[in-house]
């Protein structure tokens, strides 16, 4: 995985899937339609401030609540390049990888302020706050999970693997 660089948008603890994408918008699975409403109940101005490639930094238990895949789909489609949080709800954690959204657990998320610029190097397990110059270490994502992200999610990974296996039989 290559380095991810972007501006930081901060959120607190227990950001649930209803705050990420409200249930009233779940009458579609279209990523572009979902992206139009991402985080609007947590910060109504978020989408107008977000630039493709930006990073959300949050506290504990990000993605708690409903197990819907719409939440990471909406974030990714809106242009969020990655999420750094103290911890993630387990189902959100898996759904993020399944949809190809990079997420990273870091205990010191208070070290980042909204508007900071950061660089994440997943293969090295480092996050650099480019604004302050400080570097932080996290446990690198396991190789298989990195492959899921690089492929664009579980379904894309499966397509590549299926194509490769068919090629092996020919």
Cβ neighbours of residue 88 under 8 Å, at least 6 residues apart? 61, 62, 63, 96, 103, 105
Nearest alpha carbon to residue 107 among 57, 145, 64: 57
Q: What is the CATH number of the domain that holds 38?
A: 3.20.19.10
Positions in the chain whose pLDDT score sits under 70: 1, 168-170
Distance CA 11, CA 98 (A): 23
Cα 99 to the chain's mean position, in Å?
9
Distance CA 74, CA 167 (A): 34
141 lies in which domain range? 4-169
Tally of domains in the chain? 1
Q: What are phi and psi of 53, to 5 degrees?
A: 100, -5
Query: How much is the pTM?
Result: 0.92
The pLDDT tens digits for 5-31 are: 999 999 999 999 999 999 999 999 999
Nearest alpha carbon to residue 81 among 62, 48, 57: 57
For residue 140, the model assigns a pLDDT of 84
Distance CA 92, CA 70 (A): 10
């Amino acid at each position: 995985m290559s380095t991810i660089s972007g501006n930081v948008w901060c959120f607190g603890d227990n950001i649930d899937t209803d705050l990420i994408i409200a249930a009233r918008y779940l009458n579609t699975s279209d990523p572009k339609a979902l992206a139009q409403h991402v985080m609007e109940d947590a910060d109504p101005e978020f989408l107008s401030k977000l630039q493709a490639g930006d990073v959300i930094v949050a506290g504990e238990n990000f993605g708690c609540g409903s197990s819907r895949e719409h939440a990471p789909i909406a974030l990714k489609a809106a242009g969020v390049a990655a999420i750094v949080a103290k911890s993630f709800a387990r189902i959100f954690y898996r759904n993020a990888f399944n949809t190809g959204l990079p997420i990273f657990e870091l205990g010191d998320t208070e070290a980042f302020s909204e508007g900071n610029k950061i660089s994440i190097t997943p293969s090295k397990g480092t996050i650099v706050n480019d604004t302050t110059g400080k570097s932080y270490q996290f446990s690198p994502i396991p190789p298989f999970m990195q492959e899921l992200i690089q492929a664009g999610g579980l379904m894309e990974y499966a397509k590549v693997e299926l194509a490769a296996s068919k090629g092996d039989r020919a």
